[in-house]
Chains A and B, each alone.
Chain A
Amino acid sequence: MAEFRDLEGALERALLLLNPLYRAVLMLRFVEEMSYEEIATILSIPSTTVKTRLHRAREALRQILVEQGYYEESQGGKKYGLQ
């Protein structure tokens, strides 16, 4: 059972535990609502790397939320990028 049901609070805690590389792409994409090209320019990385990092960042964030008890562990999948 989840320890808390406040998604915003859980996300803020999870983001602090996330690898800074992943945190950056997540914030730029979803909070700042930037395009992949804009993120690529800011971080000086190819846009394909932005996509890969976003993919792994979401999975890592979900994994942290699972470990925090916000989500229940589902079968399959793999862990990425915990700090």
Chain B
Amino acid sequence: MKNPKGVRNMDCSKYRQFACEADTTSLPKATIDAMKEHAHLCAPCQDYAAQIREIEQGLKCLALVKAPADFTRTLVKCLPATGQGSTAWSLWRMVGVAAIILLFFGFPTYMLLEHPQTFVESNDVRAAVRIVGQNVIVPEDVVVKGDLRVYHASLRVLGRVDGNVYLISSEHSLGESGRVRGQIVRLTHLPWDKVVFGFRNISQELRSYLRGAWR
């Protein structure tokens, strides 16, 4: 073997390192020979190696303390208790997450069902949609990049909507330059329409949050 590690210039430090490694690593023969040669000339290192071996033997002979007779039974009793706590915590966490999801995604649906006043929602938060009384106006120079949901209002589109328009208990009109690229969906007060809209709305929210991964 060429240049086994540490053979050249075997000193006390290297010898002690290899002496400890002897248990964990099969050292090359040349290294072992170099160690023997060094130990032959260095009494402290001989002592060191002997001490390390003695410690190892001593550890192997350590009398283990026996566990009390009821230790295993007590341990087993403790385990389900820990498990129950963990399950309870998981349950509370799940309830918390469900509540957050319900509030987050259910809010627009709640608005649809319960909120009678004029309200507008858009995926494009920068769109300068104006609300004047019960009128929602998309001005001429405004482009709404995404869907628009209008509640209990009269929508007047003078600019452009690059998405669907959902009219909930609302009506709409297009100006001369007004344009809607997506669909115009009317929702009546029928409960089924509200449920369908609710699911669509959740789907819409999910898509906007998982953009890229979904589409």
- Chain A residues packing against B (C-beta within 8 Å): 7-8, 10-12, 26-27, 30-31, 33, 36, 51, 54-55, 58-59, 61-62, 65, 71-72, 74-78
Contacts and interface: CB of A to CB of B under 8 A. Distances in A.
Interface stretch (B17-25, B130-138, B155-163, B173-181): B17-25
Given A30-B56, A31-B64, A74-B44, 9 more contacts: A7-B58, A8-B63, A30-B59, A31-B60, A51-B24, A55-B20, A55-B21, A74-B47, A76-B11
Interface residues of B, number: 26
Contacts of A74: 44-45, 47-48, 51
B51 to A, nearest CB: 5
A70 B25 CA distance: 28
A62 B20 CA distance: 11
Contacts of A8: 58, 61-63
Given A51-B25, A62-B52, A71-B51, A76 B58 contact: no
B55 interface: yes
B13 A77 contact: yes
Contacts of B17: 55
Interface of B: 11-13, 16-17, 20-21, 23-25, 44-45, 47-48, 51-52, 54-56, 58-64
Report, nearest first, the 6 A-B pairs whose CB atoms are least far apart. A76-B12, A30-B59, A74-B44, A51-B24, A55-B20, A7-B58
Nearest to B44: A74
Contacts of B23: 54
Nearest to A14: B55
Nearest to A55: B20
Contacts of A77: 12-13, 16, 48
Given A51-B25, A65-B55, A31 B62 contact: yes
Contacts of A58: 20, 52, 55-56
Contact of A11 (B24, B62, B64): B62
A11 B58 contact: yes
A67 to B, nearest CB: 13
Nearest to A70: B51
Nearest to B15: A76
Given A54-B24, A55-B21, A65-B55, A76 B60 contact: no
B60 A30 contact: yes
Contacts of B56: 30, 58
A31 B23 CA distance: 15
A59 B16 CA distance: 9
B55 A62 contact: yes
Given A36-B24, A55-B21, A77-B13, A11 B55 contact: yes
A78 B48 CA distance: 12
